[in-house]
Amino acid sequence: MTVKKLVSWSVLGLFSWGGMIQPALSESEHNELVVRYHNGLKMMTKDKQFKFQVGGRIMMDFAIFDADNTFKTSFEDGDQTSGAELRRARIFMAGLLYNKILFRAEYDFASTSDSTGSTPSSGEEPGFRDVYIELIKLPLVGAFRVGHHKEFWSLENMTSSKYIMFMERSLMNFFSPARGLGVGIFSPALDRRITWSTGVFFDSAGTAPPVSNFDNSPGAVNFSLRLTGRPWYQDKGKQLIHLGFSYGLEDQGKDNLTHFRARPEANLTSFHPVDTGPQPVENINRYTFELAGVYGPFSLQGEHTFVSVSKPAGTPDVDYSGFYVQASYFITGEHRHYNTKYGIFGIESNPTAFLTARVAGAPGKWHCVIPIST
């Protein structure tokens, strides 16, 4: 059975299985709806068998560049122009059916060039980001997801753009495959001390804007695997250590092309410190090692990625590597929240009142961050 047939049977089985669910609920429990606001607008039936949520994000980017003449003359695209952009403008809806099936659909209205430096016409055009259906509480595998979603790779890649330390991900993230059309299974284990996730993904050209962080050939098939662990976890996540490993394999097919290109952590710049140009590739192997820690308001996060590019016969193979380290401190006392189900960072702890002597009851937080990446 081919992989594509396997995906087709999986989708068919998903809807068949969902159709067989026969909830034994009273009419009043089934119809009574509770509406509340907690980190977004949420609705649910009283028995919690059905849930629905809407939300979104708006992120604006302003940048001022001041490059000296040496920099401008050393690089073809070294002359920078200051400016502003609507970096992300997304709206989503998500929900739960029969306490067994999750769904999510997210649309991004912003039109910007992506982290590879592509132009808007080939970069992050307006379009869907996450569109998937997920079966939960399954024996052995935990959860099964099918649709357009993130490939299971890298702590920074898997963490939402709402909860990364900067508006842009690190320079190393250009190795990331980002999202794809595919199927995946994942689950926490050992009382959520470890998590595992794996999936197979396909090129999404023609079905969604190309949001991968490097250019693959049409028809590329990706395999990804991610394992995480938390050997130390205290005080509900105020103190923890995270360890992780990710592996990815991209099968490009014979004599297909891949183009690695990246900008520094500023989406408005046109400067590309890394640009390999299109190169013939048979397959790509990626290995990433993750390390993160939280100690109250202080946190440290870093990853090191190794990429091995296998080229057609007669052409030397190429290896790349990169890393980043980010340190942060909440001067108002909060801490980064760790999601033990997925092995990623999520929403920060509740904000404290800041400068209350000047502005009574003003909520907020101050977060200082220092990055290094190469």
Instruction: Please report the pLDDT score of residue 119 as a whole number.
Output: 41
Give residue 313's identity as a one-letter amino acid code. Answer: A
Under the banding of pLDDT at 50, 70 and 90, the label for residue 8 is very low
Average pLDDT on 16-31 reads 52
Q: Which amino acid is at 284?
A: I
d(CA 110, CA 53): 22
Residue scoring higher pLDDT (366 or 296) = 296
pLDDT reported for residue 75: 62
Q: CA 31, CA 25: separation in Å to the nearest integer? A: 10
| Mean pLDDT across 124-129 | 82
**Other CB atoms closer than 10 Å to residue 212's CB: what's the count?**
23
Q: pLDDT-derived band of residue 185, with 50, 70 and 90 as boundaries?
A: very high
Tens-place pLDDT, residues 242-285: 999 999 998 876 557 787 887 778 888 777 777 787 888 888 99
Least confidently predicted of 36-40, 126-130, 348-352: 348-352
Tell which wins on pLDDT, 104 or 210. Answer: 104
pLDDT tens digits for range 156-182: 999 999 999 998 899 888 888 888 899
For the chain, list the domains and their CATH numbers. Answer: 3-373 (2.40.160.10)
- pLDDT tens digits, 288-301: 999 999 999 999 99
Residue 280 parent element (H or E): strand 279-295
Whole-number pLDDT of residue 194: 97
pLDDT at 112: 58
Q: How far apart are CA 111 and CA 74, in angstroms?
A: 30
Phi, psi angles (nearest 5°) of residue 171: -60, -35
Answer with the residue of higher pLDDT: 348 or 22.
Answer: 348
Q: What is the pLDDT of residue 279?
A: 83
Residue pair 147/173 in contact (Cβ under 8 Å)? The answer is no
pLDDT for position 300: 98
pLDDT tens digits, one per residue of 198-247: 999 987 554 444 444 555 555 678 999 999 999 999 999 999 999 999 99
Instruction: State the pairing for strand pair 221-234/274-275.
Output: unpaired
pTM: 0.82
Q: Which residues neighbour 359 within 8 Å (Cβ) at sequence distance 6 or greater?
A: none
Which pLDDT score, from 0 to 100, does residue 76 have?
62
With a pLDDT cut of 70, the percent of the chain lying above it is 75
Instruction: Check residues 161 and 360 and name the one with the higher pLDDT.
Output: 161
